[in-house]
Structure formats: structure tokens, C-alpha cells
Chains A and B, each alone.
Chain A
């Protein structure tokens, strides 16, 4: 079958930047500022140390698949998701997405603390890519899912972090994209809401949504994913059935 996501040797290079030393004299300071002015014109300093946060990663995802992305901190999982969500551009490679993409890389993105829950649903929905009619149509469903019925006219700054999270997830979950990108968003949710979210992911996948899901919670990866990808220092290390990939991953970190 034709894949819905096709990533072809994606790479992302970051300049780490040199640690600035404090100029000892005014002359040195002036020299430094001239140097940085020159850099401003020339672009980046060529001698900066660099790191490939993602290096030659290729994979394909079939429509409706739920793929868990696992790996240590700093392995490049989030970089991969950020590239697919178009937050940042790859340095090398290509990726083709054959569907509308929705991403939840942080909860309550764009929520304004002074706006009410109702206003924030519209604002956040629009930012995530829904139009006004769509939001109005799904409004009640979103509110019910987030369990914030009594707080719609309360400014978001008075919300508890749990309410913030629930509302943020609820809006994104009702986006109904073809491809849903989720980054580590459920870590602060309580057990019952986590369960509800995982169920929502499963339902979405049954309806044909393709889900890419970064998580450190290996149990939930096992529960909802059809497939897992292990990324290790920027490279695709392992790809296959969740049980096998997870047990290899656990072996690799015990060393």
C-alpha cells in the first residue's frame, strides 16, 4: 500500500555555538563586537561546533498506523517530530506527507491566560488549523471531553494544570487530521485521563488517522502502537513490532 508519510534520509544539523568568554579589555570587547557584526553579514560562524540531531533517517508509515517513537533523552525524537510538523526545516533529506497534519507538541499552545476557556478553545483551534465553523460544530464535544463544563467563562489563568492539559488535548484530539503528531504530552496527565487519551488515539486510528507518538512511557507505547521506532543518537536504530523494539531498547540502556 502507498505510504502516507515518506521520510527520505532526513538530517538536521545544529550549531552548538561557542561559549562566550568575557572580553578582558574594551579593545577586546570592541574587536568581538566587530567580529559578531561581520558574522551577522556573513551568516553563521563556520568554526562553530556542530551536532547532527538527526542523521540520515528514512522510514515509511502506512495510513492508519500508530507508530511509537522511543529513545533516550536527546536522541532526536522530538527533532524528527518537529521536522514533520514543519516547525523546523531539515538540513538534508525530504519528507512527503499525503494528508492534513495536526500536531500536539505541547499542551495548550497559544492559550492566553487572560482569555476565558471558551475564547481559548476558538483561539487554540484556529491556531491548530480548524476554521470557525469546525470549532463551533465540535465545541460541545471538546468541552465534554475536557470536563471543563463549569469553567467556560473562567479565565484560563485560574485553571489547574490538569484542566489546562485536558482542554489542550481535547482541542487537538478533535482536529481530526489525517496524520496526528504527538510529543510526550500525556506525561503530566493523571491515570484516568491518560487512559481516555490513549482510547481516543486508538479510536482515531480505527477511523484511519495515522499517529506518530513520542513517548517515554513504554507501557502506553505497547498498548496503543502497531509499530515502534527506536532512535539512537540521531539515527534510526530499530524499527518493528513494539514488543521487539522495546525489549531491544531496554537491553541497550542496561549496558
Chain B
């Protein structure tokens, strides 16, 4: 504990002009030792390195917009195109019920969230491998690398949400106080995505199979979640199992908050009870595997 406090002081103090006295701190600034089973998360260290998170996100956003012609528009185009495809096939041809909400906006809401989950899980999974050069040469909390990947996609999600607001006005969806719950579900989906991203990122360093399998698994996850259909289609007896997928409760909740539908608090509670322990587990797994990233990547 005392080490981490010293660590924080050491980094903060550098913002001031350094006094070159030969006064060394009583406690080591850094103690290097073999990795242990339980590596606690050093919040003080994460806080001092928050600018690294910012610059990693800044780099990815900047690079992306330098290489594309329509830049930020891609963030919106992807969910819109997918929405059109599903609106034609499921909405018009098969006429999937959408809880009384126009199908395009019903689907777009979830596709927006799903696009975030899918892109963020993929990019955070590959993030450690693509940043191998940094990992093998500089130390900072490795957690920041997949976290930055999720952060970049969160920025995308916020931009795509602006289109959602436009669609809601176009389809004349009345906005109620329920909408205040929407940011809560966005926060929860970000936590879930970070958890899955951290697990996949850590495993992908040692077993590249994870990265290869991931697109398929994500596809399965999408159809197991109420993205392009309504969870009301799920038979009653299967719901207990169905809602163990935390994404189901989150997407339903997000829709309920926008379209003034009833909240199913039991489903929402289950999703939180799965998401947050999973986040704790993922951080533990990541910290546990982190010490060997530089050797394995």
C-alpha cells in the first residue's frame, strides 16, 4: 500500500521543478518482485497514468480520421446500414414484432449498442498484440491499453446516439422521464464490454486462437441477445436462462427507457449481478496475466 502511495507522489512531484538534493525517499518508489497470485489493482497508479489513457484514445481517433475520407461519418454509417438490412428482412418481410415501436428505430437502438459491444470487444482483444512494441519497451499499467480501445468505441457510441435522437424526432417517439435511465444502461454496457474485452485481450496474448474465434462467438452472442428481435418472442420457460446473458437485460432496459415501455427490474438486476462480478474477475485475470505479457506477446 505504502509503495503505491509513494508511486503516486513520485509522479505527481515531477510536475514541479525537481529539486536535485540527494535526499532519497525512505521507502522505495518502486519495488520489483516476482508476480503473485493476487495482484491488487493499484488505483493510485491508474490515476497518475490517466493521461496515457487519454493519449492512447486520442491517437486512435486521430489516426482513424486521417486515413478515411468521410471520417466520423463511418461511426454512424455502420449501424444505419445494418439497420436497413434488418428493417427490410425482419421488419418488412418477416414482420418481427417490435413491441409497438417502429421496427427501424427499435432495431437501431439495439444495433447501436451492439455495434459498440462488438467493435469494442474486438479492438480491445487485439489491442495488446497491436501495441506489442509499446508493451515490450515501456512500463505503464497494461490495463490502459484495452481500456483505451473500449473508450474509443464509447466515443463512437456517443456520436451514433445523436442519430438516434434524430430518428426519435422523425418517428415522433414521445420522450419521457424514463430516458434518464438510458445513460445508466450505457454505463453498464461499457462495464460489461470492458470485462469481456479484458478477458479476451489477456487470453489473446498467449493464445491467438481467441482472436480467431472471436468474430464467430460475437455473432452467436448477437443472436442470443434481443438485438434484431424482441425478447418477448422468447418462451416463458426459457427466460430464466435467456436473461443470464447480461446483454439481454441491458438492451431491454435501454429500449424501455427510450420508448416508455415497462422496466423488468428482475432482468435488469440479473444483468447487473452478472456484469459487475465479471468485471472484478476480468481485472483479476488481467492483472494475473499482465506480468508475462512482455514475454508472450
Contacts and interface: CB of A to CB of B under 8 A. Distances in A.
B24 A89 contact: no
B33 A112 contact: no
Contact of B294 (A82, A101, A133): A82
Given A97-B30, A207-B20, A114 B67 contact: yes
B15 A99 contact: no
Nearest to B20: A208
A126 interface: yes
Interface stretch (A103-111, A141-149, A229-237): A103-111
Interface in A157-209: 176, 178, 207-208
Interface string A114-157: 11000100110011111111100000000000000000000000
26 contacts: A2-B24, A82-B294, A84-B32, A85-B139, A86-B30, A87-B135, A88-B292, A89-B33, A89-B34, A89-B292, A90-B32, A90-B33, A96-B31, A99-B29, A100-B29, A103-B138, A106-B137, A110-B133, A114-B66, A115-B59, A115-B66, A123-B58, A127-B138, A127-B140, A129-B14, A208-B22
B173 interface: no
Contact of B32 (A2, A89, A112, A114): A89
Nearest to B6: A98
Contacts of A2: 24
A86 B49 CA distance: 15
Interface of A: 1-2, 4, 6, 14, 40, 63-64, 82-101, 103, 105-106, 109-110, 112, 114-115, 119, 122-123, 126-134, 176, 178, 207-208
B25 interface: yes
Contacts of A89: 32-35, 291-292
In the A-B complex, the 8 residue pairs with the smallest Cβ-Cβ separation, listed nearest first, are A96-B28, A86-B139, A126-B55, A95-B32, A89-B291, A208-B20, A97-B30, A109-B137
B134 interface: yes
A109 B138 contact: yes
A110 B134 contact: yes
Contact of A98 (B24, B66, B295): B24
B10 interface: yes
B24 A126 contact: no
Nearest to A40: B207
B138 A101 contact: no
A122 B30 CA distance: 25
A132 B51 contact: yes
Nearest to A92: B34
Given A88-B294, A126-B51, A63 B24 contact: yes
Interface in B123-171: 131, 133-140
A83 B32 contact: yes
Contacts of B291: 88-89
A127 B55 contact: yes
A50 B169 CA distance: 65
A145 B112 CA distance: 48
Contacts of B24: 2, 4, 63, 98-99
Interface string B7-26: 00011001100101010110
A126 B52 contact: yes
Contact of A115 (B28, B63, B140): B63
Nearest to B24: A98
A220 to B, nearest CB: 21
Interface string B35-51: 10000000000000001
A110 B138 contact: yes
Best-buried of B35, B51, B58 by chain A (most CB within 10 Å): B51
A112 B63 contact: yes
Given A95-B32, A127-B55, A87 B139 contact: yes
A96 B15 CA distance: 23
A30 B13 CA distance: 57
B62 interface: yes
Interface string B267-297: 0000000000000000000000001101100
A97 B295 CA distance: 22
A106 B14 CA distance: 23
Given A96-B28, A109-B138, A129-B11, 15 more contacts: A1-B22, A14-B295, A82-B294, A87-B138, A96-B32, A97-B29, A98-B24, A103-B137, A106-B136, A110-B133, A119-B62, A126-B52, A127-B52, A134-B14, A134-B15
Contacts of B15: 131, 133-134
Contacts of A82: 294
Contacts of B292: 88-89
Contacts of B294: 82, 87-88
A70 B14 CA distance: 31
Given A4-B24, A112-B59, A98 B33 contact: no
B25 A86 contact: no
A114 B63 contact: yes
A4 B15 CA distance: 21
A105 B137 CA distance: 6
Given A89-B35, A98-B25, A109-B134, A122 B140 contact: no
